[in-house]
């Protein structure tokens, strides 16, 4: 079973006449990891509706939690589509990724035969023993 991890990358906020530090845009990333460690990532930007001054559900900026932010994103997006995109990315990564480490690069291979030495130049003068 895949696991998923949220990262909030940035929050854009503004001051209104009646409220301060009102969040209206969130940039985020959701990372999925399968049991073998293969990752898939979905990065998004979500704009929120600006609350009116009488909104009883308004949460002051100082009282926000990461889970509040995640809940807002999940309420706005079709999360089935997001999870599907992440799972598709993991499948592609399983087929295409091969990590090569230092010491394994083609120019660092020590078991490759060196190229042959260039032929010795032939001199136009040949020594002869008479």
pLDDT-based confidence at 104, cuts 50/70/90? Answer: confident
DSSP code string of 66-113: HHHHHHHHHHHS-HHHHHHHHHHHHHHHHHH-----TT-SGGG-SSSP
pLDDT at 110 over 90: no
Report DSSP state, residue 19. -
pLDDT band at 122 (very low <50, low <70, confident <90, very high): low
Instruction: Identify any residues that bridge with 28 across adjacent strands, giving them in sequence order.
Output: 8, 44
Report the Cα–Cα distance between both ends of the chain, in Å, rounded. 88
Q: How far apart are CA 6 and CA 33, in angstroms?
A: 12
Band (pLDDT 50/70/90 cuts) for residue 126 is very low
Q: What is the mean pLDDT of the chain?
A: 85
pTM of structure: 0.68
| DSSP letter assigned to residue 17 | S
HSE-up of residue 45 (Cα within 13 Å, Cβ side): 3
Mean pLDDT of all residues in 52-60: 80
Q: Residues 73-95: pLDDT tens digits?
A: 999 999 999 999 999 999 988 88
């Amino acid at each position: 079973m895949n696991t998923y991890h949220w990262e909030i990358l940035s929050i854009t906020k503004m001051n209104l006449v009646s409220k301060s530090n009102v969040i209206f845009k969130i940039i985020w990333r959701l990372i999925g990891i399968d049991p073998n460690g293969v990752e898939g990532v979905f990065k998004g930007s979500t704009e929120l509706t600006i609350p009116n001054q009488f909104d009883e559900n308004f949460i002051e900026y100082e009282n926000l939690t990461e889970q509040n932010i995640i809940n807002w994103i999940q309420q706005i997006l079709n999360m089935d589509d997001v999870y599907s995109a992440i799972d598709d990315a993991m499948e592609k990564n399983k087929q295409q990724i091969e990590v090569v480490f230092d010491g394994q690069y083609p120019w660092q291979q020590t078991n490759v035969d060196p190229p042959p030495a260039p032929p010795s130049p032939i001199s136009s003068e040949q020594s002869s023993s008479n």
